[in-house]
Amino acid sequence: MRSLLLTGSGSKFTEPLLRRLVSRFDSITLLSKTSPHRFTQNNISGLNFDLSSSYKIPVMADVVIHLAAVVPYNQKGQQCGEVLNTNLRCFLNVMRYAVSVGVRHVVLVSSTDIYPLLVDDTIRADTPPAPHNEYGLSKLACERIGRMLSEMYSIPLSIMRVGPIYSEDDPTANTVSGMLEALRRHRPITVPEPCNVPSLLHLESAVDGIVAALSAPEGTFVIAGRPMSIGDFFSLAKDAYRSSSEISLGSTSNRSVHISFDIADSEMVLGWSPFSDDKMFLAMSTTVMEDIR
């Protein structure tokens, strides 16, 4: 029997991960502190468990995908110390659990927030980290703890530094996802800082990278989109959706953000690449219009 433990099951990554993995594991346990579990497949079960308080998770797993984290974006009242301490405790307990039950592979979903926000060179997996927020700092700390325990106890560890994502299925995922939904519904949008290049990545493409790590050698991988300005991104989306929305462009600051990632190692080792321009937008406007009617 091959079993998977997926922590942080309230994450936006959970549903697309399950679509890809439900047939690959005999049992999948979705762990969350409070989130309800809505999946009905026989081999999927839910467990509410406070991972920040204990490592004694009452299940056995061969593989762990660790999504659980406090993400401060769009959440008022989150303090730097709270984000750092909670995320560290949760991942430390995941690694302690992995040691105690003999987990064969841990996948840590990290973040490109471990890198600086303004950088002139292409960012690679070996680029010196300089977290630009407390979330990035917490992920970097988890990575370092994970590497140390992985070496001490011979537990294979894959670190997936996932870049800024967007979702076409969940408009509440972030601001970009909400603006895409407005485009699909032919509503006007305003694009602030249109010259910024955030190298956005489709959620489904990010999940492809995480899944690829399960069959590849352990390592640290950058999972990010190809460079494209945010103005060009929404222009491409408008064409793909055949949207009649009016797009207004905001002003550009003196120094625009331009983030470019080198994903050569991810492509070579994982066999993964981000979606090409013609596949960046999977949901067509005709489908959306049928739903609206």
Q: pTM for this one?
A: 0.91
Query: What pLDDT score was predicted for residue 289?
Result: 34
pLDDT tens digit sequence for 220-276: 999 999 999 999 999 999 999 999 999 999 877 666 788 899 999 999 999 999 999
Domain(s) of CATH 3.90.25: residues in the chain:
167-198+227-258+276-292
Query: What pLDDT score was predicted for residue 36?
Result: 77
pLDDT tens digit sequence for 3-45: 999 999 999 999 999 999 999 999 999 999 987 777 778 999 9
Query: Please, which pLDDT band fits residue 202 given cuts at 50, 70 and 90?
Result: very high
Query: Please, which pLDDT band fits residue 284 given cuts at 50, 70 and 90?
Result: low
Instruction: Tell me the pLDDT of the chain averaged across its residues.
Output: 90
Cβ atoms 17, 210 nearer than 8 A: yes
Domain(s) of CATH 3.40.50.720: residues in the chain:
3-162
**How far is Cα 43 from Cα 57, in angstroms, rounded to an integer?**
18
Of 16 and 293, the one with more pLDDT: 16
Query: What pLDDT score was predicted for residue 170?
Result: 92
> Is it the case that residue 174 has pLDDT exceeding 80?
yes
**How far is Cα 273 from Cα 53, in angstroms, rounded to an integer?**
37
Query: What pLDDT score was predicted for residue 80?
Result: 61
**How far is Cα 125 from Cα 263, in angstroms, rounded to an integer?**
8
Q: Give the H/E segment covering residue 4.
A: strand 3-7
Query: What pLDDT score was predicted for residue 35?
Result: 78
Domain 3-162 sits in CATH at: 3.40.50.720
Query: What pLDDT score was predicted for residue 206?
Result: 97
**How far is Cα 222 from Cα 57, in angstroms, rounded to an integer?**
29
CA distances from 252 to 105, 110, 191, 192, 231 (A): 45, 30, 10, 8, 11
Domain 167-198+227-258+276-292 sits in CATH at: 3.90.25
Please provide residue 24's backbone torsions phi and psi, each rounded to the nearest 5 degrees: -95, -15
Query: What pLDDT score was predicted for residue 149?
Result: 97
CA distances from 100 to 6, 60, 62, 124, 157 (A): 17, 10, 12, 34, 16
